[in-house]
Structure formats: structure tokens, C-alpha cells
């Protein structure tokens, strides 16, 4: 679904665009909820803190949060960058090596020192840095790898090709592949947060049952079937679905706000998110 299909953008924010796999939430949820018990605040998925304050901490070696911030940035962006590299025509082995080498060089040379919120989206800065690395420094870094002098990072590259193979074959450019993975990662984070919220309230089963209602219009939801399965009245189910969609909308806006420089950029970024997810190529 594209945000451009409605004159009221907020109406579309409670819906997941068609083509987004709800099944992919489970992997993110394990990351989000691991290590939480009782009334503890659930540990958030990596993309939650991928905003400019994290970037600024990561680029300052004197900051006590620098190492942790760098790790979170690497874990949040490694797969969108891997997908970009694969779409440029690189083999699986080269894409794994190149992604690893890029992040190693990012840390060694402190590329983040040049990142400024005033310059726009952080992901755009990161993609441009990767392009320059591929054009100018990849062969040097590859030689260092053979010599065993390069720092290795614990990126889960063993799962990269499995994820990449699940993506439908299409005509997307490398840039579009990167943007698509950024958007999917963000939506998966929002869904993971919602699931964690419901599980913390003892309503995990309710979330799993209602999660498909984030797709499509309210009028087309199988309220009667859900009511029977959940042993609730149809009216109660409609209220529960409404609340889920509202919480999804709020979470999505909050996540978008963390990835842009100013609150004024949120609406434009939301429109961009839905344009990216609405592409068929």
C-alpha cells in the first residue's frame, strides 16, 4: 500500500503494505524479548536506537557508549548493505567479505566522524560511504584480509544468503534493494515491539491472532471467525483490532522519528517508507 493512495496519510499508517511477511516477526521478537522477566523493561530490537544520538555517540571514541553504539549500528545496517552489494552483481563470498571489510574500515578510519544530522538521513550517508569504499578501498581491504591483518566483526553473515535467497527475483536497483531492506527492518522492529508489549501483558496469543488484521481495510477483517477462535464477542474483537492498529501507527511514527534529524521530517519519511514498500520492481 502506498501512502500516496490516500488524502489522509495517517489512515494508511495503521496498515502493513501488502508483500510484507508477517512471519518474519518471530526472528526479531526473539531479539527483542530475550532476557526479560517480570516487570523488567523489554530489551528493544537493534533498530530502536538507530537514530542520530546513537550515531553521535558511536563516532566519539571518548564516549563511554561508543563501543556499544557502534555494535548496534553494525547489527542494524549490515543486512541492508549486504543486499545492496549482492544486487551490484557481487558473489556471495565477495558480498560477505565486502560487508565485513566495510564495517571494519568504518571502525578503523572512524568514517562516522563525517556524519552530521544536518546532512540528512543517516542511511544515505552510510550507503554513500559504502559506494566510495567499493570504488576506492575494496581491493586494499581484500588484500589485508588475505594477510590476516583485518579486524573481524561478529556479523551474522552465515544467515545473509538465506535471507537474500528468500527475496523475490525482480528488477530492483542496488539502491532500491538497500532501501527495501531498511524499510522491512523498520517494520519488523515495530511488529516485534508490539508483540513484546502484548506478551508482557500476558496477551501474546491475542497478538498472534490479530496480527493479520494489520493488513487490509477494517471492513474486510474476519471478525466473526476471530471472535469464535478467541471466545470473545465480535464487538470486543473489533475494539481489540482497533487498539492494535492504533498502537502500530504510534509505534511506527515513533520509530521513524528516531531515524530522521528533526520532527518536521517524520511525515515525509513516512511517505517515503510506503513508497519504498509499494514498489513492485
Give the model's pLDDT for residue 27. 34
pLDDT at residue number 228:
95
39 assigned to some structural domain: no
Q: For residue range 220-235, what is the model confidence (pLDDT) as tens digits?
A: 889 999 999 999 999 9
Least Cα distance to 140 among 112, 110, 175, 109 occurs for 109
The answer to whether residue 53 sits within a structural domain is: yes
CA distance 53 to 69: 9
| Predicted pLDDT at 237 | 96
pLDDT for 247: 94
| Domains in the chain, number | 1
d(CA 210, CA 133): 44
Per-residue pLDDT at 16: 56
- Specify whether the CB–CB gap between 244 and 194 falls below 8 A: yes
pLDDT value at position 38? 38
For 61, the grid coordinates are 571514541
Which residues does the chain have with pLDDT short of 50? Answer: 1-14, 21, 23-50, 146-147, 149
Domain of 117, in residue numbers: 3-34+45-278
The phi and psi torsions of 215 (rounded to 5 degrees) equal -100, 135
Residues 120-148 have pLDDT tens digits of 678 888 899 999 999 887 766 555 554 45
Domain-embedded: residue 184: yes
Evaluate whether residue 40 is within a structural domain.
no
Asked if residue 214 lies in contact with residue 248, where contact means CB atoms within 8 angstroms, the answer is yes
User: What is residue 172's predicted lDDT score, i.e. its pLDDT?
Assistant: 78
pLDDT computed for residue 75 by the predictor: 75
Q: What pLDDT sits at residue 256?
A: 84
**Cα-flanking dihedrals φ and ψ of residue 115, to 5°?**
-80, 130
Phi, psi of 2 (to 5 degrees): -105, 145
Length of the chain: 281
Q: What is the pLDDT of residue 43?
A: 36
Amino acid at each position: 500500500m502506498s501512502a500516496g493512495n490516500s488524502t489522509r496519510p495517517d489512515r494508511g499508517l495503521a496498515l502493513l503494505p501488502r508483500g510484507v511477511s508477517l512471519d518474519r516477526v518471530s526472528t526479531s521478537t526473539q531479539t527483542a524479548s530475550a532476557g526479560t522477566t517480570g516487570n523488567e523493561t523489554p530489551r528493544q530490537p537493534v533498530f530502536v536506537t538507530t537514530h542520530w544520538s546513537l550515531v553521535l555517540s558511536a563516532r566519539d571514541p571518548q564516549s563511554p557508549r561508543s563501543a556499544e553504539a557502534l555494535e548496534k549500528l553494525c547489527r542494524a545496517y549490515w543486512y541492508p548493505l549486504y543486499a545492496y552489494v549482492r544486487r551490484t552483481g557481487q558473489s556471495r563470498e565477495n558480498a560477505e567479505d565486502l560487508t565485513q571489510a566495510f564495517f571494519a574500515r568504518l571502525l578503523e578510519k572512524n568514517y562516522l566522524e563525517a556524519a552530521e544530522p544536518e546532512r540528512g538521513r543517516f542511511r544515505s550517508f552510510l550507503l554513500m560511504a559504502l559506494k566510495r569504499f567499493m570504488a576506492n578501498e575494496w581491493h586494499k581491504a581484500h588484500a589485508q584480509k588475505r594477510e590476516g591483518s583485518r579486524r573481524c566483526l561478529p556479523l551474522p553473515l552465515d544467515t545473509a544468503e538465506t535471507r537474500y535467497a528468500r527475496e523475490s527475483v525482480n528488477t530492483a536497483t542496488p539502491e532500491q534493494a538497500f532501501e527495501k531492506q531498511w524499510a522491512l527492518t523498520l517494520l519488523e522492529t515495530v511488529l516485534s515491539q508490539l508483540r513484546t508489549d502484548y506478551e508482557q501483558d500476558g496477551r501474546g496469543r491475542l497478538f498472534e491472532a490479530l496480527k493479520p488484521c494489520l493488513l487490509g481495510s477494517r471492513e474486510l477483517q474476519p471478525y466473526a471467525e476471530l471472535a469464535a477462535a478467541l471466545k470473545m464477542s465480535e464487538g470486543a474483537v473489533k475494539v481489540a483490532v482497533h487498539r492494535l492498529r492504533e498502537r502500530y501507527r504510534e509505534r511506527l511514527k515513533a520509530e521513524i522519528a528516531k531515524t530522521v534529524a528533526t520532527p518536521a521530517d517524520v511525515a515525509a519519511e513516512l511517505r517515503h517508507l510506503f513508497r519504498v514498500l509499494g514498489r513492485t520492481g
